[in-house]
Amino acid sequence: MSALATIRRRGAGSIAWHAGALAVLAVVLYPVLWVIGASLKPNDEIVGSLQLFPTDPITDNYRHLAQGIADIPLSTFFGNSLFLAVGSVVGVLASSSLAAYAFTRIGFAGRGVLFTLMIGTLLLPYHVLLIPQYVLFQKLELVNTYTPLLLGKYLATDAFFVFLMVQFMRNLPKELDEAARLDGCGHLRTYWSIVLPLCRPALITSAIFTFINAWNDFMGPLIYLNEPEKYTVSLGLKMFVDQDGVANYGGMIAMSLVALLPVLVFFLAFQRYLIDGMATSGLKG
């Protein structure tokens, strides 16, 4: 086989490969492109038209958003979501890394049992806890506050993140903390000055996922929040769907896109961390 033929064959393979990948890409991107295009169309052209982007784009839908929903500016919903998302990130990072440190670096009695319990909660359907947790927070008069949505994050109930960090810390060389111990470092110092900085990749991955989870969360806010002023972006959008989705369909579509933006931005900024972090930690058994 001549070199030229090989190159030609490779070229053909490459074209086929890219064609396949582009076909998948089209399916994946269509809804996102659709929502961008639709948000620039007038109300009655949104559903029926096959044209992805309007020839005559309008910005009315976005200008409508500036009025907010029912006297509540959109910035309120974004502020609330941001508060919850950032609050969740802080809680998850602090509580999960403490637990993971204990699991990997401290030889305390009962460690195995607790670890098994923690793994058990990983597979537990959330819905079993939904009603009793609600009853608990209702009795404590904490419904319609952010506490029910945040408390679990500060108490490391997202077992997945504990597990992720355990996986990571387990692979840090043992010699490091032995050296630290010889230098007279206690556990807190070792945790704070040695282990945590080395765990940066795991911490970043956890932070991003926690943020996105909290941002997208729908059921928690739906159940616990009562006052529209405390609503998150998800609930604000749902309110839009219920209230104005008919008369102002375009506004609803524009709001859908705006609600997605933070997640998309996060994704574009951190996609390396997300994908590599998940893929590699997923394979270290």
Q: Which long-range contacts (CB under 8 A, 24 or more apart) does 85-90 make?
A: 85/210, 85/211, 85/214, 85/215, 86/211, 87/146, 87/150, 87/153, 88/149, 88/150, 88/153, 88/210, 88/211, 88/213, 88/214, 89/207, 89/210, 89/211, 89/214
The CB-of-264 to another protein minimum distance in angstroms stands at 7
Cβ proximity to another protein: between 2 and 284 the closer is 284
SS3 142: coil
Contact at 8 Å (CB) between 238 and 217?
no
When the beta carbons of 40 and 166 are compared against another protein, the nearer one is 166
* Closest separation in Å from C-beta 102 to another protein: 4
Is 75 or 226 the residue whose CB approaches another protein more closely? 226
Structural tokens at position 266: 């996060």
Give 58 or 256: the residue with its C-beta nearer to another protein. 256
Encoding tokens for residue 60?
A: 């009315």
Provide the minimum distance between the beta carbon of 2 and another protein in the complex, in angstroms, as a whole number: 21
Comparing CB distances to another protein, the nearer of 3 and 139 is 139
| Min separation Cβ 274 and another protein, Å | 7
Minimal distance, residue 56 CB to another protein, in Å: 20
